[in-house]
Amino acid sequence: MKEYLQKYFTLRKHNLNVAWKKAKNRKMCYLFLAPYAILFTMFYVFPVVASIYYSFTYYNILEPPRFIGLQNYISLVLQDDIFLIGVKNTLMIALITGPLGYILSFLFAWLINELPVWIRSIAVIVFYAPSIAGNCYVIFSVFFRGDAYGYVNAFLMNLGIIDTARLWLIDPRYMLPICMIVILWMSLGTGFLSFVAGLQGIDRSMFEAGYMDGIKNRWQELWFITLPSMKPMLMFGAVMTITSSFGVADVTMALCGYPSTDYAARTIVTHLFDYGYSRFEMGYACAIATILFLMMILCNKAIQSLLRRVGT
């Protein structure tokens, strides 16, 4: 055992030496990377570490942080009913709009792939525009206005489906579904672009080989040829989808108000915003951020293992 450990350490030492020599030879690589690496560490890596640290403290900016162990997490789970509503809403939104938006992105990218070039480029603009249209989503509050003048109300009343105007954005029953519709409208984002580009790059001869081997219709072709060659883009799209579906806050805040009736449209991020910027309980807010972060990482791992099975 001792001998084994000794061998292991000499090997490690040797490897480190080799790496150090290599690094010395490549000094200029580090020089090139340094500006980015420093800023990235400062504004992306360090904040996550700091966030985890502060989540174990009571910190209100004025006083220095005071270590309180797991107290923040315990209060979050056991005492904070509104946080649990937020978790429930975020999960609902993420589990419904995430996969649906992801599938829609791929489906539309795939459907427009065979259109003539100029139609395809117009279609890409039409489908992608909602996700970069700034805060254009507030226009939905006109459609879903709560009085009889709102378009949706007027339309449904004319058809005789409802007899009185519904308070779409104030009634807790309707808030989440409406937010989901709006989020889906905006869901053809970066992932969609990646899919469109990836589909263009698939080797044509693969399809021809497919005809020979008896691939009968477009659906078989999709499952056996297209999807397996798109795996890297599918991974990228998944990362983009997780980011947007767990980070929902702008849409719910703009449409349903902040805070919303009965907190029915509260999400984890809205809750974080509340504690971080309205109540200045930074430690508590960081605990919320840490939980959100863990959820995103776990979700990403789960999706990666799912995607590995595609086309097999």
Partner 1 sequence: MSAKIIKKRKPNRSIAGDIALYFFLLLVAFVMAFPIIYAVSSALKPLDELFKFPPKIFAQHPTLDNFSDLFVTMGKSWVTFTRYLFNTVFITFVGTAGHLIIASMGAFVLAKYEFPGNQTFFKIVTVAMMFTGWVTAIPNYLILNKLGWIDTYWAIIIPAFASPMGLFLMKQFMEGLPTALIEAAKIDGANEWTVFSRIVMPNVKPAWMTLIIFSVQGLWNNKASTYIYSEEKKTLVFALQQIQSGGIARTGQGAAVLVVVMIVPILIFVFSESQILETMASSGLKD
Site for partner 1 in 65-94 (CB under 8 A): none
Which residue lies nearer to partner 1 by CB, 8 or 32? 32
DSSP, res 65: P
Q: How many residues bind partner 1 (CB under 8 A)?
A: 100
Q: Is 61 left (phi over 0), alpha (psi -120 to 50) or beta?
A: left
Question: Would you say 128 and 189 are in contact if contact means Cβ atoms under 8 Å apart?
Answer: yes
Residues 261-300 that bind partner 1 (CB under 8 A): 269, 272-273, 276-277, 282, 285-286, 289, 292-293, 296-297, 300
Residue 196 binds partner 1 (CB under 8 A): yes
**Rounded CA separation 99/242 (Å):** 9
* Binding-residue pattern over the window 142 to 181 for partner 1, x denoting contact by CB under 8 A: xx-----x-x--x---------------------------
Burial class from Cβ neighbours inside 10 Å (0-12, 13-18, 19+) for residue 23 reads: exposed
Which residue lies nearer to partner 1 by CB, 170 or 215? 215
Residue 246 binds partner 1 (CB under 8 A): yes
Residue corresponding to tokens 């909602």: 130
Q: Which of 11, 19, 103, 310 is close enough to bind partner 1 by CB under 8 A?
A: 19
Residue 242 binds partner 1 (CB under 8 A): yes
Cβ contacts of 255 within 8 Å, gap of 6 or more:
137, 138, 140, 141, 144, 169, 175, 178, 179, 182, 265
* Binding-residue pattern over the window 103 to 132 for partner 1, x denoting contact by CB under 8 A: -----x--xx-x-x----x-xxxxxxxx-x
Which residue lies nearer to partner 1 by CB, 6 or 41? 41
Residues 32-71 that bind partner 1 (CB under 8 A): 32-33, 35-37, 39-40, 42-48, 50-51, 54, 61
Q: Of 167, 147, 173, 178, nearest to 254 (Cα)?
A: 178
**Rounded CA separation 232/238 (Å):** 10
Q: Is 210 left (phi over 0), alpha (psi -120 to 50) or beta?
A: alpha
Question: Would you say 113 and 200 are in contact if contact means Cβ atoms under 8 Å apart?
Answer: yes
Only segment of 3-11, 88-96, 162-170, 246-254 that touches partner 1 (CB under 8 A): 246-254
Q: Which of 249, 251, 256, 264 is close enough to bind partner 1 by CB under 8 A?
A: 249
